[in-house]
Amino acid sequence: MRQQYAVRSLIIVACFVLVGLGVIVQMIRIQNSEAAMIFLLQGDRYAGEFQMFYPERGEIYDRNGHLLAGNRTVYEVGVSLSEMENPDSMSYILGTYLGLTYDEVYKKLTGSPESWEYIVIQDYVGAETVAALQQLLQQLEDADDPRLSGLAFKPHLQRSYPEKDLASNVLGFVTRDGRGYFGIEEKYNDLLAGHPVQIWVPRDPNKASEIPRVPNGTTLVLTLNRDLQAKVETILDQALVDYGAQNGTILVMDPRNGDILAMAATPRMDLNNYGNYFSLYDNGSQYNRAIGMAYEPGSVFKVLTMAAALDVGTVRPETTFIDTGSIQVGGITIQNWNRESWGQQNMVGCLQHSLNVCLAWISSEMGVQSFYSYMERFGLGHATGIDLAGEAIGRLKVPGDGDWYPVDLGTNAFGQGVSVTPLQMLTAVSAIANDGRMVTPHMLYAMLRDGHQYNVPSQYAGSPISAETAHTLNDMLAISLEQESSLALLPGYRLAGKTGTAQIPTDYGYDVSRTNVSFVGWGPVDDPQFMVYIWLQTPTTSIWSSETAAPVFSQVAEQTVIVLNIPPDVVRGQLISK
């Protein structure tokens, strides 16, 4: 029995050996056949290599279709060393056209290792320069002149900003390695850049059509209004000159949905020359002061204190307060901005005259827990969530912090001892202009990809106060401006707003000679369609917001109603009645 199994096993092994020998014989026959020789002779036609293909970076537009960031074709200018015949002439011609010296070019052409077949003379050369070189090259070739033999041009894309420095603080920039820095370019870098693809590329040019197309990066549409942005930047630049301010920022937002319509800051730079960054900014927080720099805002903060007090029921508009010019909070004396007493005032008067003593009394009446609870609800000390890179969060000290003292309850009520960014303040105050609902500010309006548009929905950050409180405070702030005959007023439109003048803290206390001036305002009061926040750093012609930031607000409001086509109150009333 065992002998039968052994015979069968030997037969099976013999069969496998015969099959293996047959495969080997067939392989040898195929390799030495006439067809194999033809394949080997044509092998280069089927050769190729894996190459990484990078998609075209997505473009950036404003809400009305104005191009803010795109791409332009530039060239790498190089020389095939094996084809070059006259390095002297090549060096002279390329040096002249590319802005290089003869020696610089000649050293590259003759000093490279023998193994190199190709040398780059200059990259990122503009299309006009290349067109001139190509024309000259063609002329020489037609005349059988070899002076530029071997000259080559390789096109590729470079980020381009047609409006140069317009909205530069918002957009950010892209370096030559394809990475976005600051603003939109950094925040949405992955979407804009798309996804590179590694593809097998055949050397046979007839097979180039087989290379699949790499999808471009996502195109973004911003909430910015290009025309309004340009006007606001002009107003800001002139304000720095008129008032001798060091720097500044202006924000315009739709309080109904959080759309940022304009965001201007200084300094700005031509994004096509991002190498100037280090000569303009000491650190990244200065790139966009609207979101990157926190400061003590001063009296604009009083609208939040008043909103909280009205909402909790501590005061009503008609509540009276006898202002004696000073008040004790936490054992420290707090005085008004002019160190004078204003006598009996109602809450509108406290806002109109911007009385520190009155607001410190209000926060004391509210109590620590209630006051700071409302400030937390307004989002102070937290990021707004704006879709821009580099947002700072400021700081709201609260009881329990090692550096919080009882006097802070009084000083925080009028915007000292608390730090915010301009955008944080604008976001918090949006609840007053928007029926008690606080919006989440955003820059992205829509995304365009593969022929489809995806709109970005508005988001809300909560309701820190009731709609009734918002309506009441709206009217109070409008009356305050009107009774003051403020320079912030705009004929034909009822506006609400508040000034803010804040002394600048130093290591030795507050500097009474230098201030940050601010203004927050919105309108029309009966149907708020825009909000404006202004911050001017250390003006020198006047340290008071009422004489600096307030008139700037009026200018911005005027341009805003023109660009957004908002009719005067009388006209809107007639349209509504019809």
pLDDT at 254: 97
The CA distance from 549 to 12, in Å, is: 99
DSSP per-residue string spanning 60-95? EE-TTS-EEEEEEEEEEEEEETTT---HHHHHHHHH
Which of these, 194, 206, 164, lies nearest to 68 by C-alpha position? 164
User: Which pair of tokens denotes residue 317?
Assistant: 């508009």
Which of these, 259, 191, 204, 252, lies nearest to 458 by C-alpha position? 259
pLDDT at 42: 52
Phi, psi of 209 (to 5 degrees): -70, -15
Phi, psi of 540 (to 5 degrees): -110, -25
Is the pLDDT assigned to residue 566 strictly greater than 80? yes
Alpha-helical (H) ranges within 42-176 are 87-98, 102-110, 127-142, 168-171
Is the pLDDT assigned to residue 209 strictly greater than 90? no
Is the pLDDT assigned to residue 100 strictly greater than 70? yes
Output Rg (C-alpha) for the chain, integer angstroms: 35
**Beta-bridge partners for 509:** 506
Give me the residue spans of the domains in the chain.
Answer: 68-160, 231-577
Condensed to tens digits (0 to 9), the pLDDT of residues 522-540 reads: 999 999 999 999 999 999 9
Looking at the chain, the number of H-run helices and the number of E-run strands are: 20, 20
User: Which pair of tokens denotes residue 274?
Assistant: 């991002």
The CA distance from 63 to 65, in Å, is: 6
**pLDDT band at residue 24, thresholds of 50, 70 and 90?**
confident
Contact, 548 vs 536, CB < 8 A?
yes
**Average pLDDT value over all residues in the chain:** 90
The CA distance from 478 to 495, in Å, is: 6
Is the pLDDT assigned to residue 376 strictly greater than 90? yes
Choice among 108-112, 200-204, 360-364, 365-369 with the minimum mean pLDDT: 200-204
User: Which pair of tokens denotes residue 497?
Assistant: 């707003």
Contact, 97 vs 129, CB < 8 A?
yes
pLDDT at 165: 96
Strand, coil or helix: 180: strand
pLDDT at 167: 97
Choice among 29-38, 66-75, 255-264 with the minimum mean pLDDT: 29-38
Higher-pLDDT residue of 40, 336: 336
Higher-pLDDT residue of 573, 267: 267
The CA distance from 302 to 499, in Å, is: 9
pLDDT at 3: 59
User: Which pair of tokens denotes residue 108?
Assistant: 């590259």
Condensed to tens digits (0 to 9), the pLDDT of residues 253-269 reads: 999 999 999 999 999 99
The CA distance from 458 to 258, in Å, is: 7
The CA distance from 397 to 403, in Å, is: 8
Contact, 566 vs 529, CB < 8 A?
yes
Most confident range, picked from 103-112, 116-125, 519-528: 519-528
Burial label for 214, CB within 10 Å (0-12, 13-18, 19+), is: middle
The CA distance from 441 to 170, in Å, is: 13
pLDDT at 424: 97
Side-chain-facing half-sphere of 561: CA atoms under 13 Å: 22
Other residues' Cβ atoms within 10 Å of the Cβ of residue 164 = 12
Measured CA distances, 173 to 221, 247, 318, 517 (Å): 16, 21, 52, 30
* Crossing angle for the helix pair 368-377 and 356-366, to the nearest 10 degrees: 100
Most confident range, picked from 23-27, 275-279, 465-469: 465-469
pLDDT at 507: 79
Please count the residues of the chain. Answer: 578
Is the pLDDT assigned to residue 244 strictly greater than 60? yes
The CA distance from 549 to 139, in Å, is: 62
Is the pLDDT assigned to residue 8 strictly greater than 90? no
Contact, 201 vs 48, CB < 8 A?
yes
Phi, psi of 226 (to 5 degrees): -55, -45
pLDDT at 214: 72
CATH of domain 231-577: 3.40.710.10
Is the pLDDT assigned to residue 201 strictly greater than 90? no
**pLDDT band at residue 177, thresholds of 50, 70 and 90?**
confident
Is the pLDDT assigned to residue 37 strictly greater than 80? no
Average pLDDT over residues 479-494: 91
pLDDT at 334: 92
**pLDDT band at residue 2, thresholds of 50, 70 and 90?**
low
**pLDDT band at residue 208, thresholds of 50, 70 and 90?**
low
Sign of CA dihedral 489, 526, 311, 426: negative
pLDDT at 232: 98
Task: State the fold for domain 68-160.
Answer: Alpha-Beta Plaits (3.30.70)
Measured CA distances, 305 to 1, 312, 477, 502 (Å): 104, 11, 13, 16
Can you give 490-544 as a three-state secondary structure string? Answer: ECCECCEEEEEEEEEEECCEEEEEEEEEEEEEEECCCCCCEEEEEEEECCCCCCC
**pLDDT band at residue 55, thresholds of 50, 70 and 90?**
confident
